[in-house]
């Protein structure tokens, strides 16, 4: 796994995720070693996107553990997880016309990095 700081270890254990009352994932466990690239493959509706959303804090984790370099991030919000250098970048077109290239890229930066790049008045 590649993050802002180079490599990081991601370990997901027995993850369960729900959208409101509807449970979408049960018992997901996987490990991504530092520098490793892992493809999540499966049919539509299998839970690939939901798994990634849980890792980046976009959906609610019901139970299980998600550790990034040993730090528990399950249940934290995306604004906290991004501070660890991890961000969800939706595929092109899945976040509307207003969000083509600049927004997904800039959302991966920390508040301090964004402030440093903001135009000065
Ligand atoms: N926003 C949502 N609200 C309710 N259920 C959802 C939502 N998004 C996905 N799901 C459900 O969660 C399950 C996993 O979907 P998803 O993670 O999108 O699968 P994949 O990315 O593998 O196609 C499916 O049953 C899907 O219908
Ligand atoms: Mg998907």
CA-nearest residue, atom 5 of ligand 1? 19
Per-residue pLDDT of the chain (121 residues; tens, 9 = 90+): 666 666 889 999 999 999 999 999 999 999 999 989 999 999 999 999 999 999 999 998 999 999 999 999 999 999 999 998 888 887 766 555 555 555 555 555 556 666 666 666 5
Å from CA of 112 to ligand 1 middle = 33
- Single pTM value for the model: 0.79
Domain ranges of the chain: 2-88
Q: Which amino acids bring their CB within 6 angstroms of ligand 1?
A: 19, 22, 24, 42, 44-50
Mark 6-41 as b/e (b = at least 16 C-beta within 10 Å). eebbbbbeebebbeeeeebbeebeeebeeeeeeeee
**Topology, domain 2-88:** Rossmann fold (3.40.50)
């Amino acid at each position: 796994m590649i993050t802002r700081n180079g490599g990081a270890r991601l370990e997901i254990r027995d993850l369960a995720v729900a959208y409101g009352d509807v449970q979408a994932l049960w018992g997901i466990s996987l490990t991504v070693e530092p520098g490793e690239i892992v493809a999540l493959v499966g049919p539509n509706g299998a839970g690939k996107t939901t798994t990634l959303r849980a890792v980046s804090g976009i959906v609610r984790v019901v139970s299980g553990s998600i550790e990034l370099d040993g730090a528990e991030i399950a249940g934290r919000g995306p604004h906290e997880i991004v501070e660890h250098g991890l961000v969800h970048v939706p595929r092109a077109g899945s976040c509307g016309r207003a969000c083509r290239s600049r927004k997904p890229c800039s959302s991966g930066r920390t508040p301090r990095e964004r402030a440093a790049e903001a135009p000065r008045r």
